[in-house]
C-alpha cells in the first residue's frame, strides 16, 4: 500500500496538469461523489454526467535486456514497457475521465481524456453531438473513428492492459482511434435491433491534434497532407445484447517535399468485431483489424521519379472471454496475434532493393486477469501476460519472449 501511495506523490506533476485541463473545461461543474454522477446545469436546466477513474499500477516484467535484444525485440513484445510515451516505470499512476453535458434537448458536448505513461496526456474525444431528428445526427470535433472496441474507458473492465496492440501501444494505435472531423449518423430500430450507420471525414493535423501521424510509418520530414474518411456499421440486439461492428477507414498522406524527394501513400483499414453472450455471465468477443498501406517513394525534384513501391500490412486478431463470477469478481482470458509485414519493389535504377520479405513480423500474446470490486468504488486487478515475437528485417532474423505480472489499485466515481 505504501508503494502505491508513493506513486501518487512522485507523479503528482502530470496528474495536476490533467486536472487543470479538465477543470478549466468544466468550470461550472460542482463535483459530487457517485458511481454515475449527474448534475443540473443552472443555466440550461440540463444534466451533466461524468465519471473519473484513477489509480496506480505496478508491473513485474521478465524480458531480455534492451541492449541484448535484436531488432527492438523488447519494444515489439507490446508489454507495459513497450513504446511508452513517457519514460517507463514499473510503478505508475494514471487517471481517466469521460462525460457529457446536455446543452439542449438535441445538442450535447462529450469528452474523454486520460493521463498514463503509455500514451502521455491524451484527449481521445471532444465533440458536439447534434440530433437533427430522432434518426439522424451530426458530430463535430475530436471524434472516434469507430474502428475498434477497446475497453479503455469501461469502468468495469477487468484488464490492466488489453492484449490487442491496437488498443494499448501508441506507436500502433495512433492511426486507428480518433481525430478532428465531422461525422453524420443514422439510427434505425427495426424489431429487436438497434442499428447505427456512420459516415465521417477527418483531418488529424487540425489544431495540432496529431501532426506526425503517418499510418504508423516512421516519418522525419513532417506531414504535408493527412486526409482521412470512412464509415461504420454497428448492430445491437436489444434482447440478448449481442453486437456486431464493421468499419472501414481510408487515408491519403504525403510528407513534406525537399531535395531528397518525398513519400506519398494510401491506407485502407478494415475492422470486424462480434460480441455475444454464450451463457448468462459469459461474454465472448472476437475482432480482426487489418490495415494496409501502399507507399510510393519519389526521387528529387523536379521530376519526382518513383523509385520504390512499398506495401505494408498490419493485422491484429484477438479473442476475449469475460466471466462475471458474481457481483464482486470478474475473470478474463485474452489471446491475440499481431502481424506486421513489408514488401519492397525497387524501380528506375533501384531494382536491387526489391524484397518481398523485407519485414516479416509476428507477435502472439496471452493474458489472464482477475478483478475484485471492494466498497466505495475501490477495486483491485491482477493480470498475468505472456508475449513472444518472431521477426525478419532486411534478412536478419530475431525473436524475443517476455512475461509480466501486473497489479492495479483503482478507484472510480
Per-residue pLDDT for the chain (413 aa), expressed as one digit of tens each?
A: 434 445 544 455 555 554 444 444 343 333 333 334 444 444 445 588 989 999 999 999 998 877 666 777 777 899 998 888 899 999 999 999 999 999 998 999 999 999 999 999 999 999 999 999 999 999 999 999 998 889 999 999 999 999 999 998 877 887 788 999 999 999 999 999 999 999 999 999 999 999 888 887 777 688 999 999 999 999 999 999 999 999 999 999 999 988 888 999 999 999 999 999 999 999 999 999 999 999 999 998 888 899 999 999 999 999 999 999 999 999 999 999 999 999 999 999 899 999 998 999 999 999 999 999 999 999 999 999 999 999 998 888 988 999 999 999 999 98
Spatial contact of 165 and 363, defined as CB atoms under 8 Å apart? yes
Grid cell digits, residue 364: 502472439
Spatial contact of 43 and 28, defined as CB atoms under 8 Å apart? yes
First to last CA, the chain: 20
- The distance of Cα 270 from the centroid of its chain, to the nearest Å, equals 15
DSSP codes joined into one string, 341-408: EEEEEE-TT-GGG-EEEEEEEEEEEEEEEEEEE-STTEEEEEEEEEEEEEEEETTEEEEEEEEEEEEE
Number of folded domains that form the chain: 1
Q: What is the CATH number of the domain that holds 147?
A: 2.40.160.10
The domain in which residue 114 lies consists of 2-412
DSSP codes joined into one string, 89-158: -SEEEEEEEEEEEEEETTEEEEEEEEEETTTEEEEEEEEEEEEEETTEEEEEEEEE-------TT-TT--
Amino acid at each position: 500500500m505504501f508503494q502505491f501511495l508513493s506513486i501518487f506523490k512522485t507523479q503528482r506533476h502530470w496528474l495536476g496538469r490533467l486536472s487543470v485541463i479538465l477543470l478549466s473545461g468544466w468550470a461550472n461543474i460542482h463535483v459530487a461523489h457517485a458511481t454515475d454522477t449527474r448534475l443540473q446545469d443552472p443555466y440550461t436546466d440540463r444534466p451533466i454526467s461524468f465519471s473519473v477513474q484513477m489509480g496506480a499500477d505496478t508491473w513485474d516484467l521478465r524480458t531480455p535486456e534492451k541492449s541484448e535484444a535484436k531488432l527492438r525485440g523488447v519494444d515489439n513484445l507490446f508489454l507495459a514497457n513497450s513504446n511508452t510515451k513517457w519514460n517507463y516505470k514499473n510503478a505508475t499512476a494514471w487517471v481517466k475521465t469521460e462525460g457529457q453535458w446536455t446543452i439542449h434537448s438535441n445538442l450535447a458536448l462529450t469528452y474523454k481524456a486520460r493521463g498514463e505513461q503509455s500514451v502521455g496526456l491524451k484527449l481521445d474525444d471532444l465533440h458536439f453531438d447534434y440530433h437533427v431528428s430522432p434518426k439522424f445526427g451530426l458530430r463535430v470535433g475530436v471524434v472516434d473513428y469507430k474502428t475498434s472496441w477497446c475497453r479503455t474507458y469501461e469502468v468495469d473492465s477487468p484488464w490492466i492492459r488489453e492484449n490487442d496492440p491496437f488498443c494499448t501501444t501508441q506507436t500502433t494505435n495512433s492511426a486507428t482511434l480518433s481525430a478532428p472531423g465531422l461525422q453524420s449518423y443514422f439510427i434505425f430500430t427495426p424489431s429487436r435491433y438497434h442499428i447505427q450507420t456512420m459516415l465521417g471525414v477527418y483531418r488529424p493535423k487540425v489544431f495540432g491534434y496529431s501532426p506526425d501521424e503517418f499510418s504508423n510509418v516512421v516519418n522525419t520530414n513532417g506531414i504535408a497532407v493527412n486526409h482521412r474518411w470512412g464509415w461504420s456499421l454497428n448492430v445491437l440486439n436489444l434482447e440478448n445484447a449481442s453486437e456486431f461492428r464493421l468499419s472501414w477507414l481510408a487515408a491519403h498522406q504525403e510528407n513534406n517535399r525537399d531535395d531528397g524527394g518525398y513519400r506519398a501513400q494510401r491506407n485502407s483499414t478494415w475492422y470486424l468485431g462480434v460480441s455475444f453472450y454464450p451463457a448468462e455471465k459469459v461474454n465472448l468477443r472476437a475482432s480482426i483489424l487489418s490495415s494496409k498501406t501502399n507507399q510510393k517513394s519519389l526521387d528529387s525534384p523536379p521530376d519526382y521519379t518513383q523509385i520504390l513501391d512499398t506495401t505494408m500490412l498490419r493485422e491484429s486478431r484477438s479473442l476475449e472471454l469475460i466471466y462475471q463470477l458474481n457481483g464482486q469478481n470478474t475473470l478474463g482470458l485474452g489471446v491475440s496475434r499481431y502481424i506486421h509485414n513489408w514488401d519492397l519493389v525497387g524501380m528506375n535504377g533501384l531494382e536491387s532493393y526489391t524484397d518481398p520479405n523485407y519485414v516479416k513480423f509476428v507477435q502472439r500474446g496471452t493474458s489472464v486477469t482477475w478483478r475484485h470490486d471492494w466498497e466505495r468504488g475501490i477495486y483491485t486487478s491482477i493480470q498475468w501476460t505472456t508475449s513472444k515475437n518472431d521477426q525478419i528485417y532486411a534478412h536478419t532474423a530475431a525473436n524475443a519472449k517476455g512475461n509480466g505480472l501486473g497489479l492495479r489499485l483503482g478507484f472510480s466515481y
